[in-house]
């Protein structure tokens, strides 16, 4: 028996009848040839309880029903014989149907009995149209008629009745919205993950966020997601096992007729019938028609496709999942992150532009026993029904006057980010309730990062129009502009192209004496109070001296540097981070001064920029003895620009041509000039 925790207790108190223990599900799903949601449907009916005796009793019923109604390989003839002897047999199977034009009648296929010509009434087919596309699991009564069996080409087997295995109640969303009120945000995220079978304890925040992003296509219409990553991370599990509203297409040919519309019969395709259509092993997918990818591109853009003169709207989301043969770093060295896609998609920037989010599959751990939960979660058919109903809502209105996107986002970027944010907020808050700024910011950061990852690949392919990828946002009218990066593009000790937070500056100490030059990052936060407090323990004496010079220059020249702000009314906390062997932080006065100014002004320094130089108490700039070495280090560390005192200009004649082409070196004449040239415009 599992140990119930706080989330289990809360769920059991408010979700009676909609819970199932996920370890019980795994017991059955390995025993019987049916998807997880079928097992959960049965368990939810008989075992939705915390009382161990009731669970035991329910388990016996479920065991009995699954045993008597699921057909294992090799048992087909046994079930057919039972149908003949008893006149009828009940089975659980995936039912599909087609129109047999020769006899003008519908015939059903029951794969577990290996029957492809089972009689079925037009009324049943019209009532359950999905059996004409991908089909669905159902409890089916199959009859046998001996007289028909004796006819020439007779079809003795027939479907008498069927019951879809999914929830039909329409007020489920209200139940879920009420339930949400009992949980904190973090508890709710954990509960959602448990409902999909994953145990969140022990996962990092990035891993949890990736699992949450996987769920967005279920709640957001016409949402296009790509997930590429290592094998064995359960990429297709959610789309195959958890929801009857999702359909998985395994690698191979995808026909336009099956995906969109059959021009011969007018039959609508998968994107009209399902909430999510997932292409598994996407590298092997190809269309039967040359314009298949173009039809898909058009659909991903507008949610429409045409059949003759008629335009058909659908709202199925498209998910593309696949594997990297190599790790992320290597993939980026040899090409771009869309490399594993089919040839007609992987270098097509117009196709990429329609992808709303690129989920970093490398952030998700491999599925192991420890990653599967033994706690309570929502019954899958209840959860998928709620997700299905959430598709009719939008949460984009919550961003109005609360979040402002930066100038780097194009119209398509904004649309993609809005859709991802809306989906994440629906998952977080199924009722249309107030959502906190923290939750909105959480969703915006995930959305921007996953869209920016798409833009970075377009940039790699060389399209000039995708040059600006510095995605940013501001929370509230008075907020600070924050930039969102994609972690795989930069390592911790090299300089990325993104602007840092206000108060942060990259710099290089020229060294001297026994110490070599070295890269540093100065990080300053400001608040009410006065003076400067250096957090490093012990405080490096040389850095303390430079910071003292910077502080005095800030006070003496505050009107030139920070306008009407009075720096004496603020307390600054400073931290020096060293990225090389040198630790003293000598001669970093100018970078320290600019870090102090930008923390007050709430402005960022330009991305990829290193600022060097020492300023003395009187405001004069000290000469630098080794500007060529500093420029070479800046290139080595990945900087794109270097800001130096103008006196270094003559000495830089010794810089090699190769180095000079790799970095943009600019000069400043005084502190104000350095600040204006250093800040983001």
Q: Mean pLDDT over all residues of the chain? A: 86
Pick the closest to residue 15 from 430, 435, 443 (CA basis). 430
Which residues of 491-607 form beta strands (DSSP E)?
504-509, 518-528, 531-534, 570-578
Name the strand (E) or helix (H) holding 320. strand 317-323
Q: Domains of the chain, with CATH numbers?
A: 6-69 (no CATH), 75-164 (2.40.50), 394-483 (no CATH), 491-678 (3.30.230.10)
What's residue 18's pLDDT? 79
Give the 3-state DSSP-derived string for 244-313, with helices as H, strands as E and coil as C.
Answer: CCEEEECCCEECHHHHCECCCCCCECHHHHCCEEEECCHHHCEECCCCHHHHHHHHHHHCEEEECCEEEE
Q: Please check whether residue 70 is in contact with residue 91, taking contact to mean a CB–CB distance below 8 angstroms.
A: yes
Other beta carbons within 10 angstroms of residue 679's beta carbon come to 18
The pLDDT-based confidence of 622 (bands split at 50, 70, 90) is very high
Pick the closest to residue 217 from 188, 239, 197, 198 (CA basis). 239
The pLDDT-based confidence of 483 (bands split at 50, 70, 90) is confident
Q: Give residue 175's Cα distance to chain centre.
A: 27
Pick the closest to residue 69 from 148, 142, 160, 154 (CA basis). 142
The pLDDT-based confidence of 463 (bands split at 50, 70, 90) is low
* Sign for the pseudo-dihedral over CA of 155, 159, 165, 169: positive
383-397 per-position pLDDT tens digit = 888 998 899 999 998
pLDDT of 54 > 80? The answer is no
Please give the C-alpha separations between residue 50 and each of 20, 38, 215, 376, in angstroms, as whole numbers: 9, 21, 27, 9
Q: Please check whether residue 293 is in contact with residue 345, taking contact to mean a CB–CB distance below 8 angstroms.
A: yes
What's residue 668's pLDDT? 95
pLDDT of 179 > 90? The answer is no
N-term to C-term CA, the chain: 61
201-214 per-position pLDDT tens digit = 989 999 999 999 99
Q: For 318, phi and psi rounded to 5 degrees?
A: -110, 125
The sheet carrying 609-611 orders its strands as: 531-534, 570-578, 518-528, 504-509, 609-611, 641-645, 664-668
510-543 per-position pLDDT tens digit = 987 788 899 999 999 988 899 999 988 889 999 9
In 110-141, which positions are buried (b, 16+ CB within 10 angstroms) versus exposed (e)? bebbebebbbbeeebbeebebbbbbbbbbbbb
Q: Give residue 616's Cα distance to chain centre.
A: 49
What's residue 222's pLDDT? 93
What gap in Å lies between CA 214 and CA 232, rounded to an integer? 15
Pick the closest to residue 474 from 403, 411, 421 (CA basis). 403
pLDDT of 602 > 90? The answer is no
Q: Please check whether residue 546 is in contact with residue 556, taking contact to mean a CB–CB distance below 8 angstroms.
A: no
Half-sphere exposure of 348 (CA within 13 A, CB side): 14
What gap in Å lies between CA 29 and CA 510, rounded to an integer? 65
Stretch 151-155: mean pLDDT: 84
Of 40-44, 258-262, 428-432, minimum mean pLDDT range: 40-44
Of 332-341, 466-475, 555-564, 593-602, minimum mean pLDDT range: 332-341
Alpha helices in 569-613 (DSSP H): 589-601
What gap in Å lies between CA 273 and CA 246, rounded to an integer? 9
pLDDT of 669 > 80? The answer is yes
Structure tokens at 494: 């090299």
What's residue 490's pLDDT? 61
Structure tokens at 523: 């990080």
What gap in Å lies between CA 460 and CA 334, rounded to an integer? 11
pLDDT of 491 > 70? The answer is no
Q: Is the peptide bond before 538 cis (omega within 30 degrees of 0)?
A: yes
The pLDDT-based confidence of 252 (bands split at 50, 70, 90) is low
Structure tokens at 486: 């994609």
98-126 per-position pLDDT tens digit = 988 888 899 999 998 989 889 999 999 88
Pick the closest to residue 504 from 382, 649, 679 (CA basis). 679
Q: Give residue 423's Cα distance to chain centre.
A: 10
In 152-168, which positions are buried (b, 16+ CB within 10 angstroms) versus exposed (e)? eeebbbbbeebebbbbe
Of 167-171, 278-282, 363-367, 556-560, minimum mean pLDDT range: 167-171
Please give the C-alpha separations between residue 170 and each of 37, 175, 176, 440, 494, in angstroms, as whole numbers: 19, 10, 12, 28, 53
Q: Which residue has the higher pLDDT, 370 or 665?
A: 665
Give the 3-state DSSP-derived string for 224-241, with helices as H, strands as E and coil as C.
Answer: EEEEEECCCCCCCHHHHH
Strand partners of residue 575? 523
Other beta carbons within 10 angstroms of residue 284's beta carbon come to 13
Tell me 182's DSSP state: T
Is residue 575 classed as helix, strand or coil in its secondary structure?
strand
Stretch 150-178: mean pLDDT: 81
Q: For 304, phi and psi rounded to 5 degrees?
A: -130, 155
What gap in Å lies between CA 300 and CA 451, rounded to an integer? 15
pLDDT of 494 > 70? The answer is no
Which residues lie closer than 8 Å to 527 by C-beta, 6 or more apart? 570, 571, 573
The residue length of the chain stands at: 681
Bridge pairing between strands 115-119 and 105-110: antiparallel
Strand partners of residue 520? 507, 578
Structure tokens at 133: 């596309």
Cα dihedral angle (119, 125, 129, 131), rounded to 10 degrees? Answer: -20
What gap in Å lies between CA 659 and CA 657, rounded to an integer? 6
Q: Please check whether residue 228 is in contact with residue 323, taking contact to mean a CB–CB distance below 8 angstroms.
A: yes
648-657 per-position pLDDT tens digit = 998 998 898 8
Stretch 17-33: mean pLDDT: 77
């Amino acid at each position: 028996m599992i140990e119930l925790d706080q989330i289990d207790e809360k769920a059991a108190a408010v979700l009676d009848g909609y819970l199932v223990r996920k370890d019980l599900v795994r017991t059955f799903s390995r025993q019987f040839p049916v998807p997880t949601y079928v097992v959960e449907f049965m368990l939810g009916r008989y075992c939705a309880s915390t009382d161990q005796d009731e669970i035991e009793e329910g388990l016996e019923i479920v065991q009995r029903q699954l045993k008597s109604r699921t057909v294992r390989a090799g048992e087909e003839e046994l079930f057919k014989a039972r149908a003949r002897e008893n006149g009828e047999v009940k089975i659980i199977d995936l039912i599909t149907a087609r129109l047999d034009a020769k006899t003008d009648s519908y015939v059903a296929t029951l794969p577990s009995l290996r029957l492809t010509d089972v009689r079925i009434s037009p009324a049943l087919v019209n009532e359950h149209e999905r059996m004409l596309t991908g089909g669905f699991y159902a409890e089916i009564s199959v009859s046998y008629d001996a007289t028909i069996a004796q006819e020439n080409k007779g079809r003795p087997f027939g479907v008498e009745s069927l019951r879809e295995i999914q929830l039909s109640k329409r007020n489920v969303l209200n139940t879920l919205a009420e339930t949400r009120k009992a949980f904190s945000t973090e508890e709710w995220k954990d509960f959602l993950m448990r409902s999909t079978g994953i145990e969140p304890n022990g996962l990092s925040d990035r891993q949890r966020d990736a699992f949450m992003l996987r769920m967005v296509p279920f709640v957001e219409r016409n949402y296009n997601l790509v997930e590429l990553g290592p094998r064995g991370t359960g990429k297709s599990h959610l789309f195959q096992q958890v929801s009857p509203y999702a359909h998985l297409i395994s690698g191979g040919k995808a026909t336009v007729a099956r995906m969109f519309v059959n021009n011969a019969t007018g039959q609508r395709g998968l994107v009209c019938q399902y909430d999510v259509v997932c292409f598994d092993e996407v590298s092997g997918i190809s269309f039967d028609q040359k314009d298949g990818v173009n039809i898909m591109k058009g659909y991903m853009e507008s949610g429409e496709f045409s059949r003759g003169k008629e335009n058909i709207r659908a709202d199925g989301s498209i998910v593309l999942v696949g594997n990297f043969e190599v790790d992320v770093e290597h993939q980026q060295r040899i090409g771009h992150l869309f490399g594993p896609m089919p040839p007609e998609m992987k270098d097509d920037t117009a196709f990429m532009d329609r992808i709303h989010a690129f989920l970093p599959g490398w952030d998700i751990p491999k599925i192991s026993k420890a990653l599967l939960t033994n706690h309570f979660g929502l019954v899958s058919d209840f959860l998928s029904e709620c997700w299905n109903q959430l598709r009719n809502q939008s949460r984009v209105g919550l961003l109005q006057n609360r979040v402002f996107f930066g100038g780097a986002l194009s119209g398509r970027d904004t649309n993609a980010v809005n859709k991802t944010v809306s989906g994440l907020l629906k998952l977080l808050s199924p009722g249309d309730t107030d959502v906190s700024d923290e939750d909105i910011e959480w969703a915006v950061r995930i959305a921007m990062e996953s869209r920016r990852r798409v833009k970075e690949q377009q940039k790699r392919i060389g399209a000039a129009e995708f040059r600006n990828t510095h995605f940013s946002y501001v929370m509230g009218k008075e907020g600070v502009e924050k930039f969102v990066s994609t972690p795989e593009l930069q390592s911790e000790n090299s300089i990325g192209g993104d602007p840092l937070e206000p108060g942060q500056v990259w710099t290089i100490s020229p060294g001297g004496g026994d110490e070599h030059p070295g890269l540093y990052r100065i990080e300053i936060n400001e608040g009410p109070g006065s003076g400067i407090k250096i957090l490093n323990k012990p405080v490096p004496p040389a850095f303390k001296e430079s910071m003292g010079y910077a502080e005095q220059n800030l006070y003496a020249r505050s009107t030139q540097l920070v306008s009407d702000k009075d720096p004496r009314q603020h307390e600054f906390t400073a931290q020096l981070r060293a990225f090389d062997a040198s630790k003293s932080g000598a001669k970093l006065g100018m970078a320290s001064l600019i870090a102090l100014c930008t923390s007050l002004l709430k402005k960022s320094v330009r991305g990829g920029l290193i600022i060097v130089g020492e300023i003395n108490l009187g405001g004069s700039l000290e000469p630098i003895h080794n500007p060529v070495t500093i420029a070479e280090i800046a290139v080595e560390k990945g900087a794109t620009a270097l800001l130096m005192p103008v006196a270094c200009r003559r000495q830089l004649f010794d810089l090699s041509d190769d180095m000079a082409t790799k970095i943009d070196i600019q000069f400043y004449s005084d502190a104000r000039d350095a600040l204006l040239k250093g800040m983001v415009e």
